[in-house]
Amino acid sequence: MRAATVLRGTLPFAVLVGAWALVAGAGAVPAMFLPPPADVARVAWELARDGALALHVAASLARVLVAVAVSVPLAVALGVLVALHRRLAAVAEPIVAFFNALSGIAWLPLAVTWFGLGWASVTFIMFNTVFFLVFFNTLVGVRLVPRLFEHAVLTLGGSRRHVILHVLLPGALPSIVTGLRLSLGFGWRALIAAEMIATSTGLGFLIYNAANFHQSDTILVGIVTIGVLWLLTDRLVLQPLERRTIERWGLVAAGS
Amino acid sequence: MSGGRAATGRWELAAAWAFVLGTGTAAWALAAAALPLPAYYLPPPTAVLGALAELVVKGILPLYVAESLRRILLAALVALGVGVPLGLLLGMSRRLADFAYPLLNFFQSVSGIAWLPLMLVWFGFGERTILVAVNYTVFFPVIFNAMLGVRSVPRLYVDALRTLGASRGRIVRDVLVPGALPAIATGMRLGLAYGWRALIAAEMLVGAHGLGFMIFSAQAFHLTARIMLGMGIIGLLWVVLDYVLLRPLEEATIARWGLVQR
């Protein structure tokens, strides 16, 4: 049973790599444009052995982690605070929606103007992307919590603090987790683009720099790494998180 | 809620909006005038208006907006015309769908921007590289979601029609395609959201006209007002596209054909 699942997941990739080896091996395409899989594997091994790949992966991941660690708590706290005042929330929502539309790479020129090329600019872009998406989803999530629950807790003598901690925050959690998923999806893509322009470390830099030297093999190693890292994040962090929040705090049954 | 109350609510909201925008702009103008920063760090709102007037008169802005819109529209049409039918076809065969799922999932999770360096080696700095990167970015979420949409239609509906003697064509037309529509709308929205950002990034890196090129090249000359203007337009265009076209489309398909089982 388990073996069948593994086979179903890997067989398509085996077929793809086989087709790639055939096309590259037939000599119809110059190796500079499409290096055979064996060459790419060799370059991957070299990059892994001399630590370059680990360095670039660590740089990219560190930027994601710093941005998430700083902006998620801030965005959730601010989102709940603004959502407490329903009128304020109604005014704030379109403004935050606008900044969401802008999130990501469009901030790069301004970031470079303010912070110069380097670490600060890239982190600023990531911060922006994560912050506004999580903020927006917290805001929407809190507003979607039925007022009935709020009134119930108040009627039972609960304080404002009780309402926030036991009603609004848990009720908004599924929406917050959705915001986190979206922000990581957009943020990860923005990061790769920003690293191409503004830094000299990270996976984005690795592949863009390789393009200057026409090293298609290095580029392919980078692309595969980027894809695998995202799939791992999705499988190991986001999906379990979503499953747990929706099972535990999802308001599906109460709403319908 | 009565109609009267809704109307007052709307007026109140508009007034609150005007107030927020007014104070925001005033605070920005004040900060630009008072803060001891070089002028290019934070140009005043008037400088952004000036940049708008200048670029419109010169004809640069309309040209760049048209270029960016043309590219994203082309990607949207290709995704609709090729990605959707292909996704539907894949979804109709269980075996094909099982085979395609891991591949499509992988390709949709690598953004088109990550492929850009390879496209630069293949096609050089030019229009073709931008188009491939943007089309790639829009295409994969669309085909992936179209396929998932067909797969998510409950067997029950298919069996029900089959029991009633419907042909295969009938089942495709009346059950599978309508059942997949909400997922297709979701895929289009997500794909275009990623695609719009990939387009801006690609225009920055490749530099052949467009709004991304406009704000990126302005940075080299410290034309910060021009950057802010470009950012405002990039954000506004997406808000309009999303709230006027994509979101209503998604909600309408979910309301009309959504197969959420209760």
Residues A173-186: pLDDT tens digits? 989 999 999 999 99
Q: Is the CB of A111 inside 8 Å of chain B's CB atoms?
A: no
Contacts of residue A223 in chain B, CB cutoff 8 Å?
A: 110, 114-115, 118
The two structure tokens encoding residue B82: 């090729």
Tell me how many domains chain A contains.
1
Query: In a 3-state reduction of DSSP, which class is residue A34?
Result: coil
Domain interval for residue A174: 49-247
Q: How many CA atoms lie within 13 A of B145 on its CB side?
A: 21
The CATH number of whichever domain residue A53 belongs to comes to: 1.10.3720.10
A17 lies in some domain: no
CB distance from B204 to chain A under 8 Å?
A: yes
Task: Say whether B262 and A256 touch across the interface (CB within 8 A).
Answer: yes
ipTM of the complex: 0.87
Cβ of B227 under 8 Å from any chain A Cβ?
yes
B186 neighbourhood in chain A, CB within 8 Å: none
> Cβ of A114 under 8 Å from any chain B Cβ?
yes
C-beta of residue A202 within 8 angstroms of C-beta of residue A122: yes
Which class does domain B51-256 fall in?
mainly alpha
- Residue A255 is assigned to a structural domain of this protein: no
Identity of residue A211: A
A6-65 residues touching B, CB cutoff 8 A: 8-13, 15-16, 32-33
- The DSSP-derived string for B170-231 is HHIIIIIHHHHHHHHHHHHHHHHHHHHHHHHHHHHHH-SSHHHHHHHHHHHTT-HHHHHHHH
Q: State the angle between helix axes of B224-240 and A86-102 in degrees (0 to 180), rounded to the nearest 10.
A: 110
Higher local confidence (pLDDT), B81 or B168: B81
Residues of chain B positioned with their CB less than 8 A from the CB of A208: 116-117, 205
Domain ranges of chain B: 51-256
d(CA B210, CA B67): 5
Q: Is residue A91 part of a domain?
A: yes
pLDDT band at B259 (very low <50, low <70, confident <90, very high): low
Helices marked H in chain A = 2-25, 37-49, 52-84, 86-102, 108-115, 119-144, 147-155, 160-162, 169-198, 203-212, 216-233, 239-249, 252-255
Asked if residue B191 lies in contact with residue B141, where contact means CB atoms within 8 angstroms, the answer is yes
User: pTM (2 decimals)?
Assistant: 0.89
Q: What is the DSSP letter of A29?
A: S
Q: Do A189 and B239 touch (CB under 8 A)?
A: no
Q: Is residue A106 part of a domain?
A: yes
Contact B40 A113 (CB under 8 A): yes
Q: Nearest by CB to B121, which of A8, A98, A211?
A: A211
The tokens of A7 are what?
A: 């086979």
pLDDT given for residue A119 in this prediction: 87
The CA-based angle A30-A32-A35, given to 5 degrees, is 85
Contact B239 A106 (CB under 8 A): no
Q: If you search the block for the tokens 């995202």, which residue do you land on?
A: A230
A250 confidence band (pLDDT: 50, 70, 90): low
- Alpha carbons within 13 A on the beta-carbon side of B53: 6
Residues A43-86 pLDDT 10s? 999 999 999 999 999 999 999 999 999 999 999 999 999 998 88
> Is B216 in CB contact (< 8 Å) with chain A?
yes
The DSSP secondary structure of B54-113, one letter per residue, reads HHHHHTHHHHHHHHHHHHHHHHHHHIIIIIHHHHHHHHHSHHHHHHHHHHHHHHHHS-HH
Per DSSP, A167 falls in state I
Query: Closest Cα partner for A196 from A185, A216, A211, A183?
Result: A211
d(CA A193, CA B216) in angstroms, rounded, equals 13
**Single-letter residue type at A4:** A
Q: What is the pLDDT of residues A132-179, one digit of tens each?
A: 999 999 998 998 888 888 888 888 888 888 888 888 888 889 899 999
CB pairs under 8 A between A and B: 152
A2 occurs within a structural domain: no
CB proximity B228 to A under 8 Å: yes
